[in-house]
């Protein structure tokens, strides 16, 4: 990573966002061209990084045409309101079910404050409303013209959130995946050359059937690249997607059965951690203490999402 960004192919720049307290674990993307587009804003603490990158690339915030968020979770869209203030000519593109939360983020703020308590201000402030007239909703199959024959095509990709979209870039043949393709462990990949990704079942709308369908969709697009929000670009695309997809039954069946017998977040987290680490060891993929800590961070969130899924099943 060079300072705040990495230059990729096809006039795409990977932005180093800040997810909570962890560095190099979230990325946004800038597409530079006749129309300049930012995909994912991160939380507001990432704002300085985005602006500094624009300055280095000599792109005025006023020349940003669109800001796209794959879904409204705060690590993807919490800073959208602040960035929209600075990018005065941009539209904000989001799934229709996310529009109301971005124009009036009070429910998002209340929910996040309850979870993060005294850490909320440091991690997320400010979360600002976006004027409704500046929000453009995008639905399945819609396109956005970037100029010179380049388009982004949007697809609904549920299973992680019921307002999740992905964007397929006609020039790079890459997918901006948000969270639906899982968490790509770029640190392991950079060190070992092994492309490792596990599904993201974080709270609260994990749905295994919809997630399976979303993986089938991504594979059907025959992408050349995956641009993960968590974290970075991957090229062994179909192999990664198929390998990650195979983990969905573990989360939706084995982990559900385990939690029903052991009603403990800590125990479920350890159960997932043990299985993912054992898999890496079986595949002779070397991991270190930082990798283990990153996996545990992810797996605790995954466990919380599985618990929410079990609770939803019980209500049904």
As a whole number of angstroms, the distance between CA 268 and CA 260 comes to 10
Read off the pLDDT of each residue in 267-282 and give the average, rounded to a whole number.
97
Element (H, E) at 120: helix 120-124
This prediction's pTM = 0.95
| Least confident residue range of 13-17, 20-24, 33-37, 243-247 | 20-24
Contacts of 181 (CB under 8 A, 6+ apart): 166, 175, 197, 215, 218, 226, 228, 240, 241, 244
Return the percentage of the chain with pLDDT > 90, whole number: 84
Confidence (pLDDT) at 1: 42
- Predicted confidence band of residue 19 (pLDDT cuts 50, 70, 90): low
On the question of pLDDT at 171 being above 50, the answer is: yes
| Closest by CA position to 71, among listed 143, 151, 183, 160 | 160
On the question of pLDDT at 309 being above 90, the answer is: yes
As a whole number of angstroms, the distance between CA 152 and CA 146 comes to 7
Torsion sign, CA atoms 302, 304, 310, 311 = negative
Confidence (pLDDT) at 75: 86
- Predicted confidence band of residue 121 (pLDDT cuts 50, 70, 90): confident
Task: Delimit the CATH 3.60.15.10 region(s) of the chain.
Answer: 5-190+200-244
What order of strands is seen across the sheet that includes strand 225-228? 143-147, 150-156, 165-169, 174-178, 225-228, 232-234
Fold of 5-190+200-244: Metallo-beta-lactamase; Chain A (3.60.15)
Read off the pLDDT of each residue in 288-298 and give the average, rounded to a whole number.
93
Element (H, E) at 151: strand 150-156
Confidence (pLDDT) at 2: 46
- Predicted confidence band of residue 3 (pLDDT cuts 50, 70, 90): low
Q: Which one of 5-9, 51-55, 106-110, 166-170 scores highest in mean pLDDT?
A: 166-170
Give φ, ψ of 266 to 5 degrees: -60, -45
In Å, how far from its chain's centre is CA 37? 17
Confidence (pLDDT) at 168: 98
What order of strands is seen across the sheet that includes strand 36-39? 5-7, 12-17, 26-31, 36-39, 64-68, 91-94, 135-137
| Closest by CA position to 64, among listed 16, 102, 32 | 32
Confidence (pLDDT) at 120: 86
On the question of pLDDT at 281 being above 80, the answer is: yes
Contacts of 166 (CB under 8 A, 6+ apart): 70, 154, 155, 157, 175, 176, 177, 178, 180, 181, 214, 218
| Least confident residue range of 55-69, 115-129, 180-194 | 115-129
| Closest by CA position to 126, among listed 48, 50, 43 | 43
Confidence (pLDDT) at 254: 98
On the question of pLDDT at 144 being above 50, the answer is: yes
Confidence (pLDDT) at 117: 81
Return the percentage of the chain with pLDDT > 70, whole number: 97
As a whole number of angstroms, the distance between CA 18 and CA 250 comes to 29
- Predicted confidence band of residue 20 (pLDDT cuts 50, 70, 90): very low
Q: How far is CA 69 from CA 80, 93, 100, 279, in A?
A: 8, 6, 14, 32
**Coil, strand or helix: which one is 232?**
strand
Confidence (pLDDT) at 316: 82
**Number of helices followed by number of strands (H, E) in the chain:** 13, 15
On the question of pLDDT at 224 being above 70, the answer is: yes
Read off the pLDDT of each residue in 7-35 and give the average, rounded to a whole number.
86
């Amino acid at each position: 990573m060079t300072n705040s960004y990495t230059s990729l192919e096809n006039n795409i720049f990977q932005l180093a966002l800040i997810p909570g307290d962890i560095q190099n674990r979230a990325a946004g993307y800038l597409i530079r061209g006749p129309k300049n587009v930012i995909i994912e804003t991160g939380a507001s603490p990432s704002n300085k990084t985005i602006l500094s990158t624009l300055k280095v690339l000599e792109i005025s915030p006023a020349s940003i045409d669109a800001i796209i968020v794959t879904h409204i979770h705060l690590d993807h869209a919490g800073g959208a309101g602040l960035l929209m203030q600075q990018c005065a000519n941009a539209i904000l593109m989001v799934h229709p079910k996310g529009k109301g939360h971005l124009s009036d983020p009070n429910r998002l703020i209340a929910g996040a404050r309850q979870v993060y308590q005294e850490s909320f201000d440091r991690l997320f402030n400010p979360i600002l409303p976006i004027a409704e007239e500046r929000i453009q909703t995008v639905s399945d199959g819609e396109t956005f013209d970037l100029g010179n024959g380049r388009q982004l095509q949007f697809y609904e990709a549920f299973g992680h959130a019921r307002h999740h979209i992905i964007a397929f870039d006609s020039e790079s043949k890459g997918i901006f995946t948000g969270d639906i393709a899982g968490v790509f462990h770029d640190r392991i990949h950079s060190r070992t050359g092994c492309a490792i990704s596990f599904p993201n079942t974080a709270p609260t709308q994990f749905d295994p059937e919809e997630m399976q369908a979303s993986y089938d969709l991504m594979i059907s697009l025959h992408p050349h690249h995956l641009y993960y929000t968590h974290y970075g670009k991957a090229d062994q695309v179909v192999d990664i997607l198929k390998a990650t997809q195979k983990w969905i039954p573990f989360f939706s069946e084995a982990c559900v059965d385990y939690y029903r017998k052991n009603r403990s977040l800590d125990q479920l987290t350890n159960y997932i951690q043990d299985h993912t680490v054992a898999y890496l060891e079986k595949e002779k993929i070397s991991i270190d203490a930082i990798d283990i800590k990153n996996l545990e961070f992810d797996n605790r969130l995954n466990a919380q999402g599985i618990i929410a899924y079990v609770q939803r099943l019980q209500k049904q």
